[in-house]
Chains A and B, each alone.
Chain A
Amino acid sequence: MTRFIVKSIGQRIVLLFFISIISHTIVHLAPGEPSLVDPSNPRMKAEDIQRIRTAFHLDEPLHTQYVYWMKDLFTAQLKSFKDNQPVLKKIWGRFLNSLPLFIVGTLITWFLAFPVGIQAALNRGSVFDKMGTFLSYALISIPGFFLSYICIIFMVKTFNVPVIGMRTFGLEDAGFLLRSMDRVWHWTIPAFMSAVAGVAILSRYVRSQMLEVINQDYIRTARAKGLSEDAVIYRHGLRNALLPFITMFGLTIPGLIGGSVIFETIFAWPGMGRLGFEAILARDFPVILTLNFVSAILVLIGTLVSDILYAVVDPRIKF
């Protein structure tokens, strides 16, 4: 077991190295440089541009720039091109903002998807099942930003609640209850919106997984023993159907960055996705690269965790 973990961590570090090289190359080879973001600015003279290029090592060959990036990253010296703040501190701050949204979204996803999927599987071919199937396809197919706009308009018009941003300005002195309610309202819609697609996809998986398990022999045996239907479904069926979802759980972690760009932009949520979006607009290479790097680390941690959990849960897997 320990050997397996050490070995897969080693493999992942090698992968990470190649990922960093590829993303560095892509970002630096693409046209458009930090010094060219604002070409119409009359105060930017040729010598200023040259000074910026020298300060950011943009004149050096690619591999030297790569070494600079890596060295600065691991000594925590890496500074953003845009505002000269340490990149890691910036990302960490935004990470703390993204995290609650991600956790709430994930909880909504899993708590909605499982009951829906299980019910659909148990009542296969019923109206509920058919509606669920169609609805989940519809939810996968609707552009997230479109749904969010409809939702924002609906919520603001019907309930008259604030939804944009993380909190309402000017409420800092309000009572604790009012402040927390304000926070909850700000959370609700972005979390729901980022959960919608997840619910749709996951409930389909739960359904097919449950269907597969329910027709197995040991379920028939459990029924034949005279167990109550609940015990059959939840203790014998669901437990076995859960296995593949361990893998899926690991794979949702990278959603922290990639999936949130659109929603964080719409809801003006100061999270990692929005940081990435702003960095892209400003050609802020260190932030873009480090975000890419961080998200690759998240993916690799996710797959590692799910590999290990799989081995822990499923006794058939041996090393």
Chain B
Amino acid sequence: MNETIHMQEAEGLKPSVSLLEERWRIFKRNRLAYASYLCLLLLLIVAVVGKVLTRWIIVFDSQTVRLSEKFLPPLTAFTSTITPEEDAPAFDMYLMGTDELGRDVFARMLEGTSVSLTVGFVAVGISVLLGIFFGGLAGYYGKKKLAFISVDTLIMRFVDIMLCFPTFFLILTVVALLPPSIYNIMIVIGLTSWMGTARFVRAEFLALREQDFIAAARSQAIPGWRIIFIHMVPNAIAPVLVSATIGVATAILTESSLSFLGFGVQPPDATWGNILADGKQFIFDAPWITFIPGFAILFVVLAFNLCGEGLREAFNPKLKEGA
């Protein structure tokens, strides 16, 4: 099967540049977006490396308390004689200073990178899956009747209802009532942000449903779920992924706001949000504890936003040309 396709392509059926490559080229031309894409790749590596380092290598331990080393400014060399040698920070230097318990802010930021990114990606993953599921149902089985109401009406009314909740207030309510845990936060953020994706997917599916290749698939008695996931979703996924990129940014911001209010990820686990929230009490004595995570959040969210916007322009060239 695969071979025949390749042969057909070799016979000249394949366009010189595939659609994806063309989009990619347009995306690359947007220097700001491409730069932020590279930054995000770097951040991903930092997150993975940071996870490994803080987990297994003792000098990067983010929870080592050194009470004699409180509030040291960034780039202070490790000279203490009281603190045992094995608790010394990486490179024998507090690259980003220490906090009110003498913990190494650099190590905490490293640990926080992976936690913050995980929160962002998992929350968006949940919301994308839910969005595709509900949007797909509404788009594909929309005309089916359940008793007196069609599937489409039912799901879209539900989307309307969900849109009426003040999102942040709802997240806050649920997170405050549930036992504090990082998984609850991811799930709650995911559960309250799928509505936009569902609308996108439904709109795409309504258009796709009428196309010939879907009719062809249906004529071969391929089951509905297979048509949805194998045939339709790949064709509708581009706008979803674009909005997901921006969704990650929003999720990271939401998590940091929750942490700021004290409902986020609980100590001793570090995220950028709760490092910032802890540091804010010492903003005059030790401004670096507030400013380092603050600017880290700013840059990462900015990178996600710019990257998402670049992708949106690449996948929807009309935005740029028509304007």
Contacts and interface: CB of A to CB of B under 8 A. Distances in A.
B82 interface: no
B261 interface: yes
Contacts of A153: 283-284
Nearest to B304: A141
A146 B163 contact: no
Contacts of B290: 146, 149
A276 B260 contact: no
Contacts of A288: 173
B128 interface: no
A295 interface: yes
Given A143-B298, A149-B280, A262-B257, A137 B165 contact: no
Interface in B16-54: 32
Majority SS at the chain B contact face:
helix
B278 to A, nearest CB: 13
A277 interface: yes
A86 interface: no
Nearest to B260: A145
B306 A146 contact: no
Contact of B323 (A144, A215, A259, A261): A215
B227 to A, nearest CB: 31
B276 A146 contact: yes
A296 B176 contact: no
Contacts of B306: 137
A142 interface: yes
Contacts, number: 124
Interface in A143-171: 143-146, 149-150, 153
B165 A23 contact: yes
A146 B176 contact: no
B301 A262 contact: no
B166 A142 contact: no
A258 B260 contact: no
Interface in A114-144: 124, 134, 137-138, 140-144
B176 A280 contact: yes
A288 B301 CA distance: 31
B166 A30 contact: no
B297 A146 contact: yes
B169 interface: yes
A141 B161 contact: no
B169 A143 contact: no
Interface string A8-48: 00000001001100110011001110000000000000000
Interface string B293-316: 010011101101110010000000
Contacts of A134: 32
Interface string B242-263: 0000000100010011001100
Contacts of B299: 141
B162 to A, nearest CB: 8
Contact of B305 (A141, A144, A276, A296): A141
A143 B166 contact: no
B206 to A, nearest CB: 21
B174 interface: yes
Interface size grouping (class) on chain B: 35 or more
B297 A137 contact: no
A19 B161 contact: yes
B291 to A, nearest CB: 8
A146 B283 contact: no
A276 B169 contact: yes
Interface residues of A, number: 48
Contact of B260 (A138, A262, A291): A262
A281 interface: yes
A30 B178 contact: yes
B138 interface: no
A257 interface: yes
Given A149-B290, A277-B172, A141 B322 contact: no
A265 interface: yes
Given A277-B172, A283-B177, A138 B302 contact: yes
A151 to B, nearest CB: 12
Given A27-B177, A288-B173, A146 B164 contact: no
A10 to B, nearest CB: 13
A155 to B, nearest CB: 14
Interface string B167-183: 11110111011110000
Given A18-B161, A143-B257, A261 B169 contact: yes
A64 B270 CA distance: 43
B11 interface: no
Contacts of B212: none
A283 B173 CA distance: 9
B157 interface: yes
B179 A261 contact: no
15 contacts: A19-B161, A134-B32, A137-B305, A141-B249, A141-B253, A143-B253, A143-B298, A146-B276, A153-B284, A215-B322, A257-B169, A261-B168, A265-B261, A273-B169, A299-B163
Given A22-B161, A31-B178, 9 more contacts: A18-B161, A23-B170, A27-B177, A138-B298, A138-B302, A145-B257, A145-B260, A254-B166, A292-B165
Top 6 nearest A-B pairs (CB, nearest first) are A258-B166, A30-B177, A141-B301, A141-B302, A211-B323, A146-B294
